């Protein structure tokens, strides 16, 4: 149902620095951050539609979500966990407590003085879902923060969550980091969550990039048949597991996690299943991508498969918001040969999101053939609202 791997703009990197991990003090009014995005290979603009939109409207969330603003350093045990998992980006790492007491963890990199962007990883995934070379984010002029969404990595599970619950966690991180205005990028299973932020956060959010995303299922989305058409059989099976109940879904996701851990070592090109786009297979066989996914796959299920279970259930239910209520600029990218999130999903979102700027790549898969170029284009658009000049 969600892709078996995080979107590439969500790849991890091997930055350089570890040490004390501090959560920065939170100002009385703080902004938010943006997310990581990805697009399908090839030249930008195959079927691009550009439309102007009205300025962002306030929402019920606004600037005053009831998150605790107290901060604290990581305990020694968590600092050790982070150090073992991977090198930390130049910006470091941190965590914040939500009002309900859950921990939300993040990695902070890119340009320390750059425009803030928060990246939402795919399903499954974790905060390590970012490109290995952190300089690409600095080159784009952004401070790039990736989070562990609820239930993944070092973040606590949020049982029973809906897609519409993500904005509260994003705001908690943005407030903890002192962000004012910011943008978000979400790829694959992070796409619906990025769109929830676009619909619900309000004026603090400038732009959202949604890459290779799933569409809603049911009354406000695609029919079951449309939703599954063209999807790899291993990924499509997740919907049936969700319909069978959480116990069945959990058992099957534990098997899927073990399969991912085995494949990334023995057959990385098969990570997205037997029907994956050939471009995605080549992408997954790149040495730097294999190294990154080895870290991501181990870390995403550090405390079990609760994150992917909750994501899968949330995708099978009503998302909890209306796409028609989105009033900020959205960049929607997808490949028409994607077997993880098939083209019907992208086409539905393109029609449903008011004024979306759409880039559909003929023959494109789940990942972009030029990840660095895609990151630069996407992050620059998130920062400025325009693509960089060639």
The most confident of the ranges 28-32, 68-72, 333-337 is 333-337
List residues bridging with 186 in a β-sheet.
120, 210
Asked whether residue 87 is assigned to any structural domain, the reply reads yes
Q: What is the pLDDT of residue 389?
A: 84
Phi-psi group of 339: left, alpha or beta (phi > 0 → left; psi -120 to 50 → alpha; rest → beta): alpha
Asked whether residue 3 is assigned to any structural domain, the reply reads no
Asked whether residue 370 is assigned to any structural domain, the reply reads yes
**DSSP at 309:** H
Sheet holding 205-211, edge to edge: 93-97, 103-110, 142-147, 115-120, 182-187, 205-211, 330-335, 357-361
CA angle, residues 154, 207, 105, in degrees to nearest 5:
10
- What's the sign of the alpha-carbon dihedral 73, 13, 339, 365? positive
Asked whether residue 242 is assigned to any structural domain, the reply reads yes
How many domains does the chain divide into? 1
> Looking at residue 50, which CATH number applies to its domain?
3.40.50.1820
Q: Residue 353 phi/psi, 5° resolution?
A: -90, 115
Query: Quick one: tokens of 249?
Result: 């879904």
Alpha helices in 245-370 (DSSP H): 246-266, 278-284, 287-300, 306-316, 343-352
d(CA 109, CA 143): 6
Asked whether residue 43 is assigned to any structural domain, the reply reads yes
Closest-CA residue to 108 (of 166, 135, 71, 147) = 147
pLDDT for 204-213, tens place per residue? 999 999 999 9
pTM score, whole prediction: 0.80
d(CA 174, CA 177): 5
pLDDT for 58-94, tens place per residue? 222 222 222 222 333 344 444 434 433 444 677 799 9
Asked whether residue 389 is assigned to any structural domain, the reply reads no
Closest-CA residue to 165 (of 310, 264, 324) = 310
Cβ burial 337-350 (10 Å sphere, 16+ → b, else e)? bbbbbbbbbbbbbb
pLDDT for 292-302, tens place per residue? 999 999 999 99
Side-chain half-sphere of 234: how many Cα atoms within 13 Å? 18
Closest-CA residue to 209 (of 2, 343, 381) = 381
Of 81 and 377, the one with more pLDDT: 377
Q: What is the pLDDT of residue 88?
A: 64
d(CA 353, CA 331): 10
d(CA 128, CA 126): 5
| Residues of the domain holding 31 | 8-384
Rounded to the nearest angstrom, the gap between the alpha carbon of residue 26 and the centroid of all alpha carbons in its chain is 24
> How many C-beta atoms surround the C-beta of residue 48 within 10 A?
13
pLDDT for 183-220, tens place per residue? 999 999 999 999 999 999 999 999 999 999 999 999 99
pLDDT for 145-180, tens place per residue? 999 999 999 999 999 999 999 999 999 999 999 999
Asked whether residue 213 is assigned to any structural domain, the reply reads yes
Asked whether residue 285 is assigned to any structural domain, the reply reads yes
């Amino acid at each position: 149902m969600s892709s078996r791997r995080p979107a590439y703009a969500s790849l991890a990197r091997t930055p350089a620095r570890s040490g004390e991990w501090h959560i920065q003090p939170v100002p009385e009014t703080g902004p938010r951050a943006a997310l990581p995005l990805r697009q399908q290979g090839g030249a930008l603009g195959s079927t691009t539609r550009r439309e102007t939109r009205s300025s962002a409207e306030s929402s019920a969330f606004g600037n005053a979500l009831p998150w605790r603003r107290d901060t604290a350093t990581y305990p020694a045990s968590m600092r050790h966990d982070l150090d073992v998992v991977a090198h930390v980006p130049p910006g470091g790492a941190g965590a914040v407590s939500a009002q309900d007491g859950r921990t939300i963890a993040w990695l902070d990199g890119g340009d320390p003085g750059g425009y803030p962007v928060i990246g939402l990883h795919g399903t499954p995934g974790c905060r390590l879902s970012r490109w290995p070379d952190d300089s690409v984010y600095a080159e784009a002029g952004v401070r790039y923060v990736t989070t562990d969404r609820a239930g993944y990595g070092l973040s606590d599970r949020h049982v029973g969550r809906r897609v519409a619950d993500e904005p509260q966690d994003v705001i908690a991180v943005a407030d903890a980091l002192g962000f004012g205005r910011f943008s978000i990028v979400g790829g694959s299973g992070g796409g619906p969550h990025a769109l929830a932020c676009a619909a619900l956060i309000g004026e603090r959010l400038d732009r959202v990039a949604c890459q290779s995303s799933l569409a809603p299922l049911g009354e406000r989305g695609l029919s079951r048949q449309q939703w599954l058409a063209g999807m790899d059989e291993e990924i499509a099976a997740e919907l049936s597991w969700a319909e069978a109940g959480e116990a069945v879904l959990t058992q099957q996701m534990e098997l899927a996690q073990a399969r991912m851990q085995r494949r990334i070592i023995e057959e990385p090109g098969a990570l997205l299943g037997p029907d994956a786009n050939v471009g995605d297979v080549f992408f997954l066989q790149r040495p730097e991508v294999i190294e990154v996914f080895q870290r991501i796959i181990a870390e995403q299920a550090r405390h079990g498969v609760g994150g992917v279970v909750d994501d899968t259930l949330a995708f099978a239910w009503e998302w909890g918001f209306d796409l028609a209520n989105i009033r900020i600029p959205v960049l929607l990218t997808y490949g028409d040969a994607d077997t993880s999130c098939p083209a019907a999903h992208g086409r539905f979102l393109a029609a449903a999101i008011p004024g979306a700027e759409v880039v559909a790549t003929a023959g494109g898969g789940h990942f972009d053939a030029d990840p660095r170029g895609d990151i630069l284009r996407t992050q620059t658009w998130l920062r400025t609202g325009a693509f960089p000049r060639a």
